[in-house]
Amino acid sequence: MNLDVNTLFMVTIYVEAILGLLLLFAWAQNTSIRAVAWWGFAHLIRAASVVLFGMYGAAPDLITIDLANALLFTAFAVTWTGARVFDGRPVEPVYLVTGAVLWLLVCRLPVMADAVDARALVASGIITAYTWLTAYEFWRGRSEPLVSRWPAIFMLFAHGALFLLRTPLVTLLPWSPNNAMFGSVWLTVLSFEALLFTISIAFILLAMAKERTELRHRTAAMVDPLTGISNRRAFLQDAALLAKRHSGHPRPTAVLLIDLDHFKSINDRFGHALGDRVLEIFTEAARQSIRSSDLFGRLGGEEFAAVLSDTGREKAVAVAERIREGFAQASQEVDGRPVCATVSIGVVHCEAAVLDVPELLAQADHALYHAKERGRNRVEVASLDMLLDRKDDKQPSVPTSATSVAAIGTKSAA
């Protein structure tokens, strides 16, 4: 079956316009992702360039070739700019029009007037440059876990490579004796590939925007917005996963329960804005004292927790002390105010084959209670005696199974 290039042009115009409007409509539903608007306008500009190119023979070459290609290069530049905007990089207005200006200048050179192959090579090089730059922008943002990035990178790279091979293939593929322009086998292949690329990349870019929105919603549900660490829900979910891995390969584990001392007083004296700043300072101090592989989360208010894997009792106490001392030093003066905030920390150590983080948090809470009772700004390690004392004081009951008792330390740290 022979493909009619004129028909492909018409189909391409409609497809580009429809996809452009579709992307703009999607952006109107969620204006926070501005890159979608850039990509939508890129399709509309590309549709305009194809319209002008389709007028070849009926209008001057200045319009059907020079201006049409300038619009085409601008469309690819807009797509590249959208990729930059997508990953939070600034717009480069100069580079938006660099390709179009370069093309128009080249077309005005007398030596290029009849050099069809040279002009085609320049055009292909400009398109390839913008396309590969777009792929590179997506590659630079690969740290964001978006699966749809990878097919976008592959397709952009392949599309750019095909354009780069345009001039060499022109010399190899046959020309139609009837119409040297529209009868070219290469032009037919290029038009058909461009149509498929246009459809595919539009939906991939739309999928990227949708995937990012869903990722941000999931992140918002699992991350504390003030401190940027796991919230209570995420912390307990990660702890449950850690417990499953622990059952297969048991390792000494410590749980820390941390509470900022007199935090309500800090808010009352200095205001909630400074209180939020104190929480951020504590988070940073704690992050510097624990490993990136350890679990760390905000359980609510001024209460935090950490799970230290493969950690002995003495090392766990040392980590808790580093957190306490580091925060006390960092919070002596906050935004020019003498805050001098401190924390109390309860520690429980577990060497059992079963890791029950909620139970260990309850035990660490008893140790934290004793730290508060004994003057605050201190670290206490859970012991059987203090747990029984809390039980006698009609505090919440504590499991006393052999496993639980074995998991509790017997040494306190001042």
Q: How far apart, in whole angstroms, are the C-alpha atoms of residue 285 and residue 360?
A: 23
What single DSSP character describes residue 393? Answer: T
Active site residue 302: yes
Burial class (CB in 10 A: 0-12, 13-18, 19+), 241: exposed
**Residue with tokens 């029009």, as numbered in its chain:** 97
Buried b (16+ CB within 10 A) or exposed e, 196-215: ebbeebbebbbbbbbbbeee
The dihedral sign for the CA sequence 290, 292, 295, 297: positive
**Residue with tokens 């951020």, as numbered in its chain:** 280
What the block records as the tokens of 279 is 């929480």
What single DSSP character describes residue 341? Answer: -
Enumerate residues 6+ apart whose C-beta is below 8 A from 277: 334, 335
- Cα→Cα distances 116→64, 65, 94, Å: 15, 11, 27
**CA 57, 61, 66, 69: dihedral to nearest 10 degrees?**
10
What the block records as the tokens of 195 is 């149509």
- Cα→Cα distances 89→57, 77, 140, 362, Å: 42, 15, 11, 46
Catalytic residue among 16, 144, 214, 302: 302
Q: How far apart, in whole angstroms, are the C-alpha atoms of residue 200 and residue 152?
A: 9
End-to-end CA, the chain: 86
Catalytic residues: 302
